[in-house]
Amino acid sequence: MAKLARRAEKDLNGLPEALATKAREIIRRLDQEPHLGRKLAGPLRGKRATRLGRSHRIIYTASEGQIIVLTISHRRDAYR
């Protein structure tokens, strides 16, 4: 399973239950499809983002078969 950074664990625990359940499903899916999200550019180059509903994003890295979820946050804050 994908590893969660400390920040991502904290973010996941702070989500409403419906979003947290969906986030766990997406994180499990990342193991099978590591390139599910889109590549990011600029200061976040080398990272990927996938949608968690309309309002939240999951930011992660996928390299050499290892997935590390960095953060799960509202889209207005996700790319900062």
Whole-model pTM? 0.93
- Residue 37 has what pLDDT? 93
d(CA 45, CA 61): 10
Range of the domain at 67: 3-78
Quote the tokens at residue 26: 């997406």
How many structural domains are present in the chain? 1
d(CA 77, CA 80): 6
Quote the tokens at residue 62: 């996928």
Which CATH number is 41's domain given? 3.30.2310.20
pLDDT tens for each residue of 18-66: 999 999 999 999 999 999 999 999 999 999 999 999 999 999 999 888 9
- Residue 47 has what pLDDT? 96
